[in-house]
Amino acid sequence: MKKFLLIPFALLQLMGQSALLALGQIWVNKTRSVLTTLGIIIGVSSVSAVIAAMHGMNAKIMENFEIFGTKKIFLWPEQPASGPKKNVDWWQIRFRQEQFEDILEHCPSVEFISFISDTRNTLSRYTDRTVESVRVRGVQASWFKIENRSIVMGRPFSLLDETQGRKVCIISANLRDKLNMDRECVGETIVLGYTNFLVIGLLEDKPAMMFGNMGETQYEVYIPFRTATKGADSWFSVTASCKSAAVAEEAKAELQFFLRRTRHIQPGEPDTFRVFLMENEVQQFKKVMGMITLVAFGIVSISLLVGGIGIMNIMLVSVSERTREIGLRKAVGARPAAILTQFLVEAVVLCLFGGVIGIAIGHLFAWMISRTAPLMQSTQIPAWAVMLSFGFAVAVGVIFGMFPAIKAARLNPIDALRHE
């Protein structure tokens, strides 16, 4: 019983012993060891650099998705791809406000919903300063919640602003500065087109994003939806948000069901509108990213395979060079298992040595990549990739060291001692 308990200790001692032997062997054959591990070094460094690049790009894009909002849902009228309404006039399938009445009560997964009416490139003026092409959008108060834009000064639209179509506006901070207004701009009046508007609130500027801005500064002005449409039956689109990304699909189904009913679409007929989930795009992106990572990983894994074959080759050379030594070790009482362990550990130590250098070079690559493009800024090797690379190095050592080690362990001591 006691003997069985001692087995792990004995094994550990054997491994430690073999590791020391292996380090000695590597030290003796410095040049050869470095050249041999070059394959592993290249393999591990490219694996970790590829993972780092993918990881960095993924993080950056995901961050942008987060800024943009992953809970967002966009709705707009659309001609169906088939059926009698295929080429129907756009005006006929436009959204009407009454189609959205009580929608929140019927769609429990939807948190907020807002109509949006766009009027682009309006002239805006404050005292003697003018800014051409300001983006004026008619929205509802919930829009700011959907877009997660906070009003840093003043107030949001009130119910009265919305129902009466008051001439009030919320402007972005960059427009305030461009118009050279007072910092405390709430209560001032600006001219949009030919109409005076009272500034009731100030918005934070949009956070910088990878796509969408096109590098241009956007001056934003928001007015109540009813003010923008002047109560008329005009063209608008709808933005909504779901309660969480997890219920995005439910929200979509609820909206579709509700709108089909209010838009009197018969069963079997295709939708005349589109419900677009941001969450779907995120999932799609993740899927594509995962596939690209897998493919890239597969390609660089081949270099690890080549490195492993190099290790096997040099271990075979090492076994035949040291045949007499193996014979002697066996003669003085080394069991086959001890010889096997010695050579296996040597291969693994060689690979780990390559792995350490490889990861160091990988970090260098990652740093270089992070310097090249803004998209790659956050490129760095994640901890799991370091573990994975080490795991790969050890696995390559064990797999490719096994054959030479078995060969060594099976040597007949008499023949081995007689070997020239």
Partner 1 sequence: MDASSNQSSPVVIRITNLTRTYRIGSEKVQALRGISLEVHKNEYVAVMGHSGSGKSTLMNLLGCLDQADAGMYHLNGINTTRMNASGLAHVRNQQIGFVFQSFELLPRISALKNVELPLIYSKTPFWSRRKLAAQALERVGLGDRMHHKPNQLSGGEKQRVAVARALVGQPSILLADEPTGNLDSATSEGIMQLFERLYAEGQTIIMVTHEADVAAHARRIVRMRDGQIYSDLPAEQDPDCLRFKSKASSAQTEAR
Measured from the CB of residue 417, what is the shortest distance to partner 1 in angstroms?
7
In terms of Cα–Cα distance, which of 12, 17, 18, 13 is closest to 350? 18
Cα 246 to Cα 71: distance, rounded to the nearest angstrom? 9
Measured from the CB of residue 333, what is the shortest distance to partner 1 in angstroms?
2
The amino acid that residue 213 corresponds to is: N
Measured from the CB of residue 34, what is the shortest distance to partner 1 in angstroms?
19
Quick one: 4 or 211, whose CB is closer to partner 1? 4
Q: What would the two tokens of residue 418 be?
A: 């007689």
Quick one: 21 or 153, whose CB is closer to partner 1? 21
Contacts of 403 (CB under 8 A, 6+ apart): 312, 316
Strands 273-277 and 220-224 come out as unpaired
Quick one: 24 or 207, whose CB is closer to partner 1? 24
User: Cβ-count burial of 83 within 10 angstroms (0-12 exposed, 13-18 middle, 19+ buried)?
Assistant: middle
Q: What would the two tokens of residue 53 be?
A: 């690049």
Measured from the CB of residue 295, what is the shortest distance to partner 1 in angstroms?
46
Give me the DSSP letters along 293-329: HHHHHHHHHHHHHHHHHHHHHHHHHHHHHTHHHHHHH
Quick one: 305 or 417, whose CB is closer to partner 1? 417
Quick one: 71 or 330, whose CB is closer to partner 1? 330
Cα 292 to Cα 279: distance, rounded to the nearest angstrom? 20
Q: Please count the helices (runs of H) and the strands (runs of E) in the chain.
A: 13, 10
Measured from the CB of residue 27, what is the shortest distance to partner 1 in angstroms?
10
Contacts of 189 (CB under 8 A, 6+ apart): 196, 197, 198, 199
Quick one: 107 or 334, whose CB is closer to partner 1? 334
Measured from the CB of residue 338, what is the shortest distance to partner 1 in angstroms?
6
Measured from the CB of residue 9, what is the shortest distance to partner 1 in angstroms?
9
- Alpha carbon 113 to chain centroid, angstroms: 27
Quick one: 89 or 420, whose CB is closer to partner 1? 420
Quick one: 267 or 333, whose CB is closer to partner 1? 333
Strands 168-172 and 195-203 come out as parallel
Measured from the CB of residue 337, what is the shortest distance to partner 1 in angstroms?
7
The contact set with partner 1 (CB under 8 A) reads 10, 13, 17, 24, 28, 324-325, 327-338, 413-414, 417
Cα 22 to Cα 349: distance, rounded to the nearest angstrom? 7
Cα 296 to Cα 51: distance, rounded to the nearest angstrom? 9
The amino acid that residue 131 corresponds to is: V
